[in-house]
Amino acid sequence: MFLTQLNPNQRRSAITALSNESFDVLVIGGGVNGVGAALDASSRGLKVALIESQDLAAGTSSRSSKLIHGGLRYLEQYDFRLVREALHERELLVSTLCPHLVKPVAFLFPLTEKFKERTYVGAGLALYDALRGFKRALPWHKHLGQKQINEVAPSLRPDIVTGAIKYFDAQVDDARHTLSVARTAARHGATIATRVSAQSLIRDGKRVVGVNARDLISGEMIAIKATVTVMCAGIWSDELHASFDLKAGYGVTMSKGAHIVLPGSAIKSEAGIILKTPVSVLFIIPWADKWIVGTTDTPYTGDRSQPLADQADVAYILDQANRVLDPEITIDQIIGVYAGLRPLVANNKNSVTTKLSREHTVDRPAPGFVSIAGGKYTTYRVMGKDVIDLAVNELRKITPESVTEKLPLMGADGYFALVQQVETISSESGLDTDTVTHLLNRYGSMINEILELIRIEPELSEKLTMNLPYVKAEIYYAASHEGALSVEDVISRRTRIAFEAHNHGVDLADTIAEIIAPVLSWGRKECKDSVNAYVTVVNRELAALSELLTEAEKVSS
Sign of the four-CA dihedral 339, 345, 350, 352: negative
Helices 509-520, 524-556: axis angle to 10 degrees equals 150
First to last CA, the chain: 65
418 sits in which H/E element: helix 415-419
Query: Does 134 share its domain with 153?
Result: yes
Query: Does 94 share its domain with 19?
Result: no
Domain assignment present for 324: yes
Q: Which residue has the higher pLDDT, 279 or 522?
A: 522
pTM of the model: 0.94
Please give the sequence-ordered ranges of beta strands (E in DSSP) within 129-236, or none if there are none. Answer: 142-145, 163-171, 191-194, 196-204, 207-215, 221-231
pLDDT in tens, 72-85: 777 777 778 888 88
pLDDT for 17: 98
Q: How far is CA 533 from the centre of its chain?
A: 23
pLDDT tops 80 at residue 205: yes
pLDDT for 73: 78
Span of 124-133, 236-245, 393-402 with lowest mean pLDDT: 124-133
pLDDT for 353: 47
Query: Does 423 share its domain with 502?
Result: yes
Domain assignment present for 180: yes
Phi first, then psi, for residue 29 (nearest 5°) are 120, 125
Of 37, 488, 445, the closest CA to residue 228 belongs to 37
Domain assignment present for 74: no
Section 128-155 average pLDDT: 85
Instruction: Mention every residue, 6+ apart, whose C-beta is less than 8 A from residue 270.
Output: 106, 152, 153
pLDDT for 123: 85
Span of 12-26, 115-129, 431-445 with lowest mean pLDDT: 115-129
Question: Can you give the CATH number for the domain in which 142 is found?
Answer: 3.30.9.10
Query: Does 157 share its domain with 261?
Result: yes
pLDDT tops 90 at residue 369: yes
pLDDT tops 80 at residue 54: yes
Task: Confirm if 392 and 269 have CB atoms less than 8 A apart.
Answer: no
pLDDT for 12: 97
pLDDT tops 80 at residue 357: no
Domain assignment present for 218: yes
pLDDT in tens, 441-485: 999 999 999 999 999 999 999 999 998 999 999 999 999 999 999
Of 492, 243, 462, the closest CA to residue 369 belongs to 243
Task: Confirm if 509 and 487 have CB atoms less than 8 A apart.
Answer: yes
Section 55-74 average pLDDT: 91
Query: Does 423 share its domain with 534?
Result: yes
Query: Does 271 share its domain with 291?
Result: yes
Query: Does 285 share its domain with 191?
Result: no
Question: Can you give the CATH number for the domain in which 47 is found?
Answer: 3.50.50.60
pLDDT for 337: 86
- The fraction of the chain above a pLDDT of 90, given in percent, is 74
Section 178-185 average pLDDT: 98
Read off the DSSP letter of residue 518: H
pLDDT category of residue 499 using cuts at 50, 70 and 90: confident
Instruction: Mention every residue, 6+ apart, whose C-beta is less than 8 A from residue 183.
Output: 4, 6, 410, 481, 482
pLDDT for 356: 45
pLDDT category of residue 335 using cuts at 50, 70 and 90: confident
pLDDT for 513: 98
pLDDT tops 60 at residue 295: yes
pLDDT in tens, 261-273: 999 999 999 999 9
CA–CA distance, 474 with 483 (Å, rounded to integer):
12
Report CA dihedral (521, 522, 523, 524) to the nearest 10 degrees.
-160
pLDDT tops 60 at residue 427: yes
Query: Does 424 share its domain with 496?
Result: yes
Query: Does 246 share its domain with 359?
Result: yes
Task: Confirm if 274 and 62 have CB atoms less than 8 A apart.
Answer: no
- The fraction of the chain above a pLDDT of 70, given in percent, is 95
Query: Does 106 share its domain with 227?
Result: no
pLDDT in tens, 530-554: 999 999 999 887 777 677 666 655 5
- Average pLDDT over the chain reads 92
Q: Which residue has the higher pLDDT, 359 or 300?
A: 300
Angle at 323 between CA 319 and CA 326, to 5 degrees: 110
Query: How many domains does the structure of the chain reveal?
Result: 3
CA atoms within 13 A on the CB side of 466: 0
Domain assignment present for 69: no
pLDDT tops 70 at residue 134: no
Query: Does 262 share its domain with 342?
Result: yes
298-299 and 251-263 beta bridge pairing: antiparallel
pLDDT for 137: 80
pLDDT tops 50 at residue 26: yes
Domain assignment present for 557: no
Q: How far is CA 485 from the centre of its chain?
A: 19
Boundary-marking domain end, from 406, 440, 475: 406
Boundary-marking domain end, from 334, 351, 368: 351
Question: Can you give the CATH number for the domain in which 541 is found?
Answer: 1.10.8
Range of the structural domain that residue 379 is part of: 8-61+175-250+354-406
pLDDT for 555: 56
Query: Does 381 share its domain with 480?
Result: no
Q: Which residue has the higher pLDDT, 71 or 455?
A: 455
